[in-house]
Structure 1
Amino acid sequence: MTACSRRNFVSGMGALILTTGTTVSLMAQGGTNYADKTIRYAMVHDETACIGCTACMDACREVNQVPEGVSRLEIIRSEPMGEFPNVEYEFFRQSCQHCTNAPCVSVCPTGASFIDRKTGIVDVHKDLCVGCQYCVAVCPYRVRFIHPIHKTADKCNFCRDTNLAQGKQPACVESCPTNALTFGDMNDPTSAVVQKVRANPVYRTKVQLGTEPNLYHIPFGKGEHRS
């Protein structure tokens, strides 16, 4: 787990803080109406609950058979805050944002990179991917990689073809010992993920790019949260 400062992994992201009770926009800048989708899956990472145990990373690797040397999910640890023995750390989830306006999909020359219109999940058709790495280069979140075995683009897909296909929660959510991760349908006002976003101050990263990310963060509340 790599130590880095909050400024390092949030700098340039233009983090948007949404205060409690703020209504999340239902219309993407590209004109996509979320109401047209049956489901819009999203995730919330609660930085106040995350202890940096990396159980989520291990579960993701095991369930999705992710080889060593690459990762669909990383938990980034901040530099220590405070003085011994009262030292604290902040933990940030780095993974695919499942953007509603996904640049990786727009640049793909073969149609391999796509958005599942029923769920909003951004995924890759491995049989169509030629490994050109356009999607890797254009992703503003730097979360795509070329799978060392398949030689195709890969990333988090919310366990779409593993746990979700079996009617379960994503592996990272199931494995978290502190319930720091909440997953569900943002189109369902009664869902746990909607309730979590409504009840807490949250932010999304690089929203100024118009990507409309579907990964939300509840800020740690200590240290610097400005870009």
Structure 2
Amino acid sequence: MDLGAFSLADRTVMVTGANTGIGQGIALSIGRAGGKVIGVGRSSMQETASRMAEIGAEFVEERADLGSVAEAQAMFARAWSAHGPIDGLVNNAGIIKRVDAVDFTEDDWDSVMDINLKTMFFLSQSIGKQAIAAGRAARVVNIASMLSFQGGIRVASYTASKSGVLGITRLLANEWAARGINVNAVAPGYIETNNTEALRNDPDRSAAILGRIPAGRWGVPSDIGDAAVFLLAPASNYMHGAVIPVDGGWLAR
């Protein structure tokens, strides 16, 4: 099928946190659009690899502890050399700590910020350096959050990190748009993943969440994946520094 301006044929995209949930959904959407995926994470991505193979899409795995900037940068350089050049980067990997603000520890702060914001920036820097040096176009898609716009409760470092993701997305767009590098973000709402299983299994909490979502349903990983494909594809050539909420209308309520 010819996807035209939405095709990722002959493009290689790195996706962090591709082993499950939203990251897996992004990888599969890229595969369906004809792209090759380099999946990055600490744990096995065998399930994602199997699902990619089922749709005839190319998938390679790179292991890295994304809590370490040095390890993440070394992984990117290794992947560029082995599988590149890399046309796109999706900064999806992230963690969350739920603790009352008065009880928050330095580790609760640093462990989240290191992965969600610090490594996100330095991986973006890695593809920016390579693309600019080679005179190549590139795409960066950052995974933001509803908490890029809202405060949340008991998630101080997560809220800070996702607010930072939005700010860095705009900063990099300002610096790199004229260099042919598009930097944008997707902000997921409530998505059916392992991370939200407890919420979905709580009848009262689930009803409260669904009561605010105009679409009346939880999102699925492909909802985020398909939005990411749009930002990776030629269809979004003139988009820089944008954030697309994929939230069933949550923010509009």
Q: TM-score range by the shorter chain?
A: under 0.3
Task: State the TM-score, normalized to the length of structure 2.
Answer: 0.22
Task: State the TM-score, normalized to the length of structure 1.
Answer: 0.24
Q: Which has the higher helix share?
A: 2
**Which gives a bigger RCO, structure 1 or 2 (Cα 8 Å, sep 6+)?**
1
